[in-house]
């Protein structure tokens, strides 16, 4: 539906209509496509398997995944956007052919468990390329869960009392240093936070233990992941961890016994750090627990926060808490994936199809994150996706075909054209 000619009220001489010709507002996608070409991601997508029984087809599965990826990066959450984008010259420059929504919907129907495995392989290959480019030799595995609120009867939708709504409860892993989205697993809405955590991270750990460059691994997580199975696994893999513990009466009694109430002024805040040796009844061995004791002005007793770790005592308790609190940036990573790349979109009926949607959002997030880290000037490397779209992707342009060339003519008034040119040249030098 196009806008008919409508005069504006603030100036009746101005008429507005969608009759300006075939222009694109997504010219900046050529930056993304240039990066995809450099990383050979399109070739990786072509290898993702589907249950494809078609005898005749216009769009390959790899091309459809490629288009879906560009739509997410450009900010088009709705599948039906493809119907209009099929005529967009910006998308037509980046893709051999642009499919309509019906083709994307049919792609979802052809997905199998092998499709999900193939998507994970493509994502891992992209991340490995980034690690080799930067010679990154450490990885901080930040674990968390998030929630997809749902409003239908999709498979896996259940009530979660913690969130107070119906939905699905995925588990996620990010690299706390780079923001790389390492892994995601879609789960029913009523599972506990740590359910299946060892099975979730085991393939990641095995991969990075064998990867080049050799990777030093570290795990951080909140109290939802405070489970002996995770401690045992990390210790068996010689991997350090810092995980918050839920408060219990035994820990509080031990902490209280260590506190000395002195002549510190009661109207001034006080924070004390120390450590305990703690062994729950089900644990075969005692473990180190670091304690933060805080006294708020006006209170008589300290409030305690507990963190369990296998870091040596050479790392003091205060430093352990500093390490743990840096995982707070993970909330920003999750928010970016959900609001910026539609990770929480669960329109499909089955868990498998919705997990494919989630994996596509994960890949879109990583394409932008890696492009930003490898090719953006240092001053712009903190840009989030909405800023990237405003500065670089949402650029007006016109495609002109000549006898021998195709010209993409960008708006001469593009405010950030200097940054655009610099990033394009950086991509081409990869």
Over its length of 430 residues, how does the chain's per-residue pLDDT go in tens digits? 456 789 899 998 998 888 777 889 999 999 999 999 999 999 999 999 999 999 888 999 999 999 999 999 999 999 999 999 999 999 999 999 999 999 999 999 999 999 999 999 999 999 999 999 999 899 999 999 999 998 888 898 998 888 888 999 999 999 999 999 999 999 999 999 999 999 999 999 999 998 877 779 999 999 999 999 999 999 999 999 999 999 999 999 999 988 876 666 667 788 999 999 999 988 889 999 999 999 888 777 889 999 999 999 999 999 999 999 999 889 999 999 999 999 999 889 999 999 999 999 999 999 999 999 999 999 999 999 999 999 999 999 999 988 899 999 999 999 999 999 999 999 999 9
Residue 1 within a domain: no
Q: Are residues 15 and 98 in the same domain?
A: yes
pTM for the model stands at 0.94
Buried b (16+ CB within 10 A) or exposed e, 219-228: bbbbbbbbbe
Residue 343 within a domain: no
**Tokens found for residue 210:** 């064998």
Choose one of 297, 312, 336: the last residue of a domain.
336
Residue 211 within a domain: yes
- CA–CA dist 293, 414 (Å, integer): 54
**Tokens found for residue 229:** 């199975």
Q: Are residues 266 and 148 in the same domain?
A: yes
Q: Are residues 60 and 134 in the same domain?
A: no
Question: Which H helix or E strand runs over 293?
Answer: strand 287-295
Residue 107 within a domain: yes
Choose one of 293, 310, 336: the last residue of a domain.
336
Q: Are residues 25 and 97 in the same domain?
A: yes
Q: Are residues 376 and 411 in the same domain?
A: yes
Q: Are residues 392 and 411 in the same domain?
A: yes
Q: Are residues 109 and 158 in the same domain?
A: no
Q: Are residues 144 and 247 in the same domain?
A: yes
Q: Are residues 195 and 319 in the same domain?
A: yes
Q: Are residues 178 and 316 in the same domain?
A: yes
Range of the domain at 186: 115-336
- CA–CA dist 130, 369 (Å, integer): 10
Q: Are residues 94 and 163 in the same domain?
A: no
Report the number of distinct structural domains present in the chain: 2
- CA–CA dist 387, 330 (Å, integer): 19
């Amino acid at each position: 539906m196009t806008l008919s000619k409508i005069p504006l009220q603030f100036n009746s001489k101005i008429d507005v209509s969608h009759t300006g010709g075939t222009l694109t507002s997504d010219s900046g996608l050529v930056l993304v496509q240039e990066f995809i070409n450099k990383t050979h991601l399109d070739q990786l997508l072509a290898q993702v398997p589907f249950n494809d029984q078609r005898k005749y087809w216009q769009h390959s599965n790899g091309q459809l995944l490629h288009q879906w990826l560009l739509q997410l990066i450009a900010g088009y959450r709705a599948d039906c956007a493809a119907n209009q984008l099929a005529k967009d010259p910006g998308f037509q420059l980046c893709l051999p052919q642009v499919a309509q929504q019906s083709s994307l919907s049919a792609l979802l129907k052809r997905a199998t468990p092998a499709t999900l495995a193939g998507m994970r392989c493509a994502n891992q290959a992209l991340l490995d390329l980034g690690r080799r480019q930067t010679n990154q030799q450490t990885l901080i595995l930040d674990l968390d869960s998030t929630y997809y609120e749902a409003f239908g009867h999709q498979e896996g939708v259940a009530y979660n009392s913690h969130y107070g709504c119906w939905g699905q409860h995925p588990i996620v892993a990010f690299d706390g240093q780079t923001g790389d989205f390492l892994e995601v697993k879609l789960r029913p809405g009523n599972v506990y936070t740590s359910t299946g955590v060892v099975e979730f991270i085991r393939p990641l750990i095995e991969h990075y233990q064998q990867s080049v460059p050799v990777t030093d691994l570290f795990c951080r997580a909140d109290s939802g992941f405070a489970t002996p199975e995770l401690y045992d696994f990390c210790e068996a893999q010689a991997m350090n961890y810092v995980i918050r513990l839920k408060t219990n009466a035994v820990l509080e009694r031990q902490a209280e016994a260590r506190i000395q109430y002195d002549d510190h002024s009661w109207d001034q805040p006080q924070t004390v750090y120390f450590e305990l040796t703690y062994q729950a009844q089900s644990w075969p061995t005692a473990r180190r627990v670091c304690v933060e004791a805080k006294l708020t002005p006006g209170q008589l007793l300290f409030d305690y926060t507990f963190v369990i770790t296998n870091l040596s005592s050479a790392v003091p308790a205060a430093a352990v808490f500093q390490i743990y609190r840096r995982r707070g940036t993970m909330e920003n990573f999750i928010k970016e994936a959900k609001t910026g790349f539609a990770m929480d979109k669960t329109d499909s009926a089955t868990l498998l199809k919705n997990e494919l949607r989630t994996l596509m959002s994960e890949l879109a997030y990583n394409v932008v994150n890696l492009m930003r880290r490898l090719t953006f000037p240092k001053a712009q490397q903190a840009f989030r996706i909405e800023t990237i779209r405003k500065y670089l992707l949402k650029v007006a342009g016109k495609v002109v075909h000549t006898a021998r060339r195709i010209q993409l003519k960008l708006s001469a008034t593009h405010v950030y054209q200097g940054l655009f040119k610099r990033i394009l040249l950086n991509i081409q030098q990869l």
